[in-house]
Structure 1
Amino acid sequence: MLNALFGKKTTMPAKDDALPGRADPIPTAEEHFLFHRPLKSPVPEGMEEATFGMGCFWGVERKFWQLDGVWLTMVGYSAGLTPNPTYKETCTGMTGQNEVVRVIYDPAVITYDDLLKVFWEGHDPTQGDRQGNDVGTQYRSGIYTYTDAQAEAAEASREVYAESLRGAGYGPITTEIKPATEFYFAEDYHQQYLAKNPGGYCGIGGTGVTCPIGLKA
């Protein structure tokens, strides 16, 4: 994913060094390729939102759109410095932005703990600024929370999963847990990329260690 072109950037830029970006959003898709709902829909009443970074956002989005209770998914950039960045800018490592997936879901059907379980098991959260062959700060592991309850659940799940990973011989978790900042939509072709390109590459992969949360009774 353009690593060879832009180099492997694993150091977050200082604010003064970050690319300037732009005031206006970059163009993106009008609707979800699979769900045929407006991609910029407001969160419907009774539903909630969650944002995760866990490597290449193509594969991450697919993990979440496949879940019952997920109403909408979208990919973009967040948790960084440059406003309204492009994909090429993000790949330079000079925006500080992470490749993330924003999920709108029905908590009556799927809980936040269920989403956290998919998050932890769907990638290796001990790899730092990397997932597989994808290297750079834009591939870092992150949970970006919207409420105090989400923050508490995320922190608790990290502690639980860290113990499971230690028992399996893995190192410390590097996942950042922070309040969600502005979400910037990625370009049209990135939205639901693996639905449009089923054979497309994505470097994420889990550890094979089960996360003991989000299990329904």
Structure 2
Amino acid sequence: MTLFAGALKGRDTPISTSDTHAVNGRSLHPPFPQACEVIVLGMGCFWGVELLFWQQPGVFVTAAGYAGGQTPHPTYEETCTGRTGHAEVVKVVYDPAVVSIDTLLKTFWENHDPTQGNRQGNDIGSQYRSIILTTRQAQKNAAEQSAAAFQASLSAAGRGDITTEIRPLAQFYYAEGYHQQYLAKNPGGYCGLKGTGVRCPTA
């Protein structure tokens, strides 16, 4: 894990969040169906990312949150300081019998610019970095393979190098209730998702 100097202390108890998904009514919290797997993805502001994945067939439920840093149970305001080390991310709970990890990764790569480092468009800061946090070795292998394949496509298109972090998930912290399914509650809200126009090969 990357260590962030001066990381905020955080807290011992979770912050308040929602219990159920505002769109499909399913629980945001485990236990999830036994057949489901979990992957955590960061592509910039989590509002549009969550919308992108809850619309994906085979995804059981999604939740906005913070991961990849050090501060326990951070708030949105703390994460935005850059002193928690966390990225804005979305927990994607999916049924691999319905949607493959390759399909989810293709959606991930094609819907943001993974070459921008600590930013996504006009959103600047380490909380907006591109990140894949896995819960299974097979997911990590698939992510690394898809990154290599997408890099080849990006390079052929004259684009830069991928800066996406790929590593096992240590801890996911749920974001505040008002962030959960934000664009369902605020249809005219901000969505910063913007791909490169480059297609990602799939296995």
Q: TM-score, normalised by structure 1?
A: 0.91
Query: Partners of 2:24 and 2:3 in 1: how far apart?
Result: 35
Q: Which residue of 2 aligns with 1:195?
A: 184
The 5 Å alignment of 1:101-120 reads 101-120=90-109
1:181 Cα offset (Å):
1.2
Q: Which residue, out of 8, 19, 25, partners 1:30?
A: 19
| 1:69 to 2:58 alignment | yes
Q: Which residue, out of 65, 68, 78, partners 2:67?
A: 78
Aligned length: 202
Q: Which residue, out of 175, 180, 197, partners 2:164?
A: 175
Q: Which residue of 2 aligns with 1:205?
A: 194
Query: Which amino acid is 1:38 matched to?
Result: S
Query: Partners of 2:68 and 2:32 in 1: how far apart?
Result: 20
| 1:140 to 2:129 alignment | yes
Query: Partners of 1:38 and 1:53 in 2: how far apart?
Result: 21
In structure 1, runs of 5+ residues without a counterpart are 1-10
Query: Partners of 1:128 and 1:204 in 2: how far apart?
Result: 15
User: Match of 1:51, SS?
Assistant: strand
Between the aligned residues of both structures, percent identity stands at 60
Q: TM-score, normalised by structure 2?
A: 0.97
User: Match of 1:159, SS?
Assistant: helix
Q: Which residue, out of 117, 122, 131, partners 2:111?
A: 122
Q: Which residue of 2 aligns with 1:51?
A: 40
1:204 Cα offset (Å):
2.1
In structure 2, runs of 5+ residues without a counterpart are none
Query: Partners of 2:70 and 2:169 in 1: how far apart?
Result: 13
Query: Partners of 2:116 and 2:96 in 1: how far apart?
Result: 30
Q: Which residue of 1 aligns with 2:4?
A: 13
Q: Which residue of 1 aligns with 2:29?
A: 40
The verdict on how the C-alpha distance between 1:59 and 1:49 changes in structure 2, with shifts beyond 3 A counting, is same
Q: Which residue of 2 aligns with 1:164?
A: 153
1:88 Cα offset (Å):
0.3
- Note if contact 2:3-2:70 (Cα within 8 Å) is conserved in structure 1: no
Q: CA RMSD in A?
A: 1.2
List structure 1 runs of 4+ shifted beyond 3 angstroms: none
Query: Partners of 2:140 and 2:34 in 1: how far apart?
Result: 21
- Note if contact 2:154-2:160 (Cα within 8 Å) is conserved in structure 1: yes
